[in-house]
Structure 1
Amino acid sequence: MILRLGAFLLLLFALGFALFTVTLGTPAPAGTPAADAIVVLTGGSGRIERGMAMLAAGKAPRMLIAGADPSVTKADLLRRLHGKGGRLIACCVDLGSESVDTRSNAEEAKRWLDRGGYKSVWLITSDWHMRRSAYEFRRHLGSRTRIVTDAVPTEPSLTTLFGEYSKYVLRRLAVWLDV
């Protein structure tokens, strides 16, 4: 009986992983209405660049880069972007350095969104990270905040996908078990 249950759970996990790998996050469709703010989660290439492009395109008037290293400054960001977007960085970008993981990214973003009175957010992260990120943001922001998911396309390794799927499943279980 225990062996069958274990085999069933393993099969369920494997099928879930297969589904996860073919349903990664996607970029927001063209024509998606603007939001009150943009939140970019650090940790992957192309995320900040995508956030700056959406800010420049008028998808929101303000942007938070959540999970930035505390030593990073706006001047560092400008150098990273090869001098592009200096005006937008100066006026409209906040660097959040309170968070260290996806859950604390959502908590940090909630505090920032609440301070600004924002009711909608454009969430930017990598395609493989979007499902867990959107889950955490929905948990912390609730239904009162509209979330537009905008995933940066990547070519993740099988190891990255397996690790992210495992984190997602474990986080869902932890919430379900209230631990």
Structure 2
Amino acid sequence: MVAVMSLSNGALAPRRAEKEARRTSMGRTLLRRAVTLVVLLVGLAGVAGLAGFLVFTAQIAAREPSSVKKADAIVVLTGGAARIPDALALLAEGHGRRLLITGVNPSTSSDMLRESLPQSDADRLIACCVDLGHKALNTLGNAIEASEWTRSQRFRSILVVTSSWHMPRAMLELERALPEVEFVPYPVVSTRMQAEQWWRDPPTLKLILKEYLKYVMAAVKIRPAQAVAAPGEQARVGP
């Protein structure tokens, strides 16, 4: 009897070892497959991100347009030194009947704006045809402020003035807020964006990468908690 049990245990031992080996091998196989899948997904995400970035950079103008289509009005988003002077020049040339400057600091008045502008006819333009928007805190806020102004004025076409690298996101938010209105982009191109190999300049590359991430977030509607200043609130304008 004891001999039979010994033989039985001796026969079972290799089977147990074989089962354990199979389990170990299966676990390693599953782990390898999981790691391979993760690496593949990360690789695909990287390729998709790079492709998206290249498509995004292709939308950034390297030169300001040589000819400009007329529109009912002009909207300029604050944030770049040349944006407002360029928008006023377009207004003076008759490319729009009125101009909205959106995202203006609440402490900035028309008189302060007038003193900071180089145009000789800035006084006349600001007095007759320029509106200041003080509520917008960021690009989404610019779109909200511009949509309220556009609808109140019943404009059907808007010339959009902002920096070239900011234009894709600005157009995305504006077209989403006002799908019934035609938007015509007028990109303001800074000197560093005119360089043929701007990606070799670390500050410029960092700027474009950050803007691309903001564009992706805007595209999937991941938005800032607050877009416009509440009544009586001091606005702090962001990108």
Aligned to 2:212: 165
- Report the Cα offset of residue 11 of structure 1: 1.7
Aligned to 2:42: 6
- Report the Cα offset of residue 45 of structure 1: 1.9
- Report the Cα offset of residue 2 of structure 1: 2.2
Equivalents in 1 of 2:106, 2:84: separation in Å?
Answer: 16
Aligned to 1:138: 175
User: Which 5+ residue runs of structure 1 have no aligned equivalent?
Assistant: none
- Report the Cα offset of residue 163 of structure 1: 0.4
Tell which deviates more after alignment, 18-27 or 109-118: 18-27
Aligned to 2:106: 70
Aligned to 1:53: 89
**The residue matched to 1:174 in structure 2 has which SS?**
coil
Aligned to 2:138: 101
Q: Provide, for residues 48-88 of structure 1, a one-character-per-residue CA deviation record: whole Å limited to 9, x for no partner.
A: 01100100000011000000001111111111114631100
Equivalents in 2 of 1:118, 1:28: separation in Å?
Answer: 23
Distance 1:159 1:52, change over 3 A: same
Tell which deviates more after alignment, 72-81 or 20-29: 20-29
Equivalents in 2 of 1:50, 1:31: separation in Å?
Answer: 12
Equivalents in 2 of 1:37, 1:141: separation in Å?
Answer: 14
Matched pairs, number = 173
Instruction: Answer whether contact 1:28 1:149 (CA < 8 A) is retained.
Output: no
- Report the Cα offset of residue 29 of structure 1: 4.8
Q: What letter matches 2:138 in structure 1? A: D
Tell which deviates more after alignment, 3-12 or 112-121: 3-12
Q: 2:123 pairs with 63, 86, 98, which one?
A: 86
Structure with higher RCO (Cα < 8 A, 6+ apart) = 1
Counterpart check, 1:126 vs 2:173? no
Q: Provide, for residues 133-174 of structure 1, a one-character-per-residue CA deviation record: whole Å limited to 9, x for no partner.
A: 0011100000x2111110001225111100000100111123
User: Which 5+ residue runs of structure 2 have no aligned equivalent?
Assistant: 1-36, 194-203, 223-239
- List, as ranges, runs of 4+ consecutive aligned residues in structure 1 with deviation greater than 3 Å: 25-29
Instruction: Answer whether contact 2:65 2:186 (CA < 8 A) is retained.
Output: yes
Counterpart check, 1:43 vs 2:79? yes
Aligned residues: percent identity?
A: 36
Larger radius of gyration: 2
**The residue matched to 1:63 in structure 2 has which SS?**
strand
**The residue matched to 2:80 in structure 1 has which SS?**
coil
Q: RMSD of the alignment, in Å?
A: 1.5
Q: What letter matches 2:182 in structure 1? A: R
Q: What letter matches 2:98 in structure 1? A: R
Q: What letter matches 2:126 in structure 1? A: I
Q: What letter matches 2:80 in structure 1? A: G
Distance 1:31 1:104, change over 3 A: closer
Q: What letter matches 1:44 in structure 2? A: G
Distance 1:49 1:31, change over 3 A: closer
